[in-house]
Homo-oligomer: A and B are copies of this chain.
């Protein structure tokens, strides 16, 4: 299964969606729990096992499991759990806590179901670019299918009940991964992020909660899940994202007008380093990709595509590299392997 993932690229990384130059991807996640079982952190192993079986049976019934892959996280090597986290398919938390946890994913890697993570069920859909409604539509379909089969824990006054109160209500977290290099370079980013957070939006790094902002990638998502309809939450988030895109594009124009040589230099140096370096750390490469990505957006560079960059962002991480090269590697060995791999992929 991991082997297959190694030789394909997720559809949501294609760089083909709307606003793909600024928005890497959109994601909608629904948290669901079953009645008659304690929440995961209070459940006994036997109960978790029964939840797994129940969910799998329902999925089979609604035909979702056809063509889908099922991975029992217990059965994986630690390296492969890292691999899945790098791939955005499981949270970093799941690398360590694997007890009765199951990951299901469809062929295109854009719909995932995780059983027994923080909630009994976490349903998730990804789309390329800014396409929250499409992500919602496809995960809502899976959710409706499952809801017909399973008894979801639902309260008429609160909505869906979840292990953590911050998810109660819709159980929905919609998020968008934005690339905002020009706002960072023009130093407008802090002002904008402050404004955004006052609108009930949270801002995180490339890998969600608790992760660092790297390479000017920002993940923004709704904080409020309660007291609003899903469509309204999506519409509000989309509006804010569109505003941020407008600011980012304005900042890009400013840079081209006022600091053209500086920005061209930054972009082409990064490209030259990617094409020639023999040692590349994962921190450095994310910043190089960021500059090259900006260069594509500014129509300064066209020898590499957004889709390739999106994919390399994932494939140059430690577990991916070790799987690609078929061996465990020390960090310094990975830095060499990373440079070799990227040099082959970028023309």
B-binding segment of A53-61, A95-103, A165-173, A272-280: A272-280
Q: Which residue of B lies closest to A262 (CB)?
A: B279
Known contacts A268-B278, A269-B278; 5 additional CB pairs below 8 A are: A261-B279, A261-B336, A265-B277, A265-B279, A268-B277
A82 interface residue per 8 A CB criterion: no
The interface residues of chain B lying within 8 Å CB-to-CB of A336 are 261
The interface residues of chain B lying within 8 Å CB-to-CB of A274 are 272
A339 interface residue per 8 A CB criterion: yes
The interface residues of chain B lying within 8 Å CB-to-CB of A272 are 269, 272-277
**A268-290 toward B: CB 8 Å interface, digit per residue (1/0)?**
11011111111100000000000
- As for how many copies of this chain the complex holds, the number is 2
A131 interface residue per 8 A CB criterion: no
**A38-79 toward B: CB 8 Å interface, digit per residue (1/0)?**
000000000000000000000000000000000000000000
A264 interface residue per 8 A CB criterion: yes
Which A residues between 252 and 267 are near B, CB-CB below 8 angstroms?
A: 261-262, 264-265
| Cα A56 to Cα B272 with chains together (Å) | 52
- Residue in B261, B262, B268, B279 whose beta carbon sits within 8 Å of that of A276 in the complex: B268
The interface residues of chain B lying within 8 Å CB-to-CB of A277 are 265, 268-269, 272
| Cα A279 to Cα B266 with chains together (Å) | 9
| Cα A336 to Cα B268 with chains together (Å) | 13
A314 to chain B, nearest CB (A): 23
**A208-238 toward B: CB 8 Å interface, digit per residue (1/0)?**
0000000000000000000000000000000
| Cα A273 to Cα B271 with chains together (Å) | 9
The interface residues of chain B lying within 8 Å CB-to-CB of A273 are 269, 272-273
A271 to chain B, nearest CB (A): 6
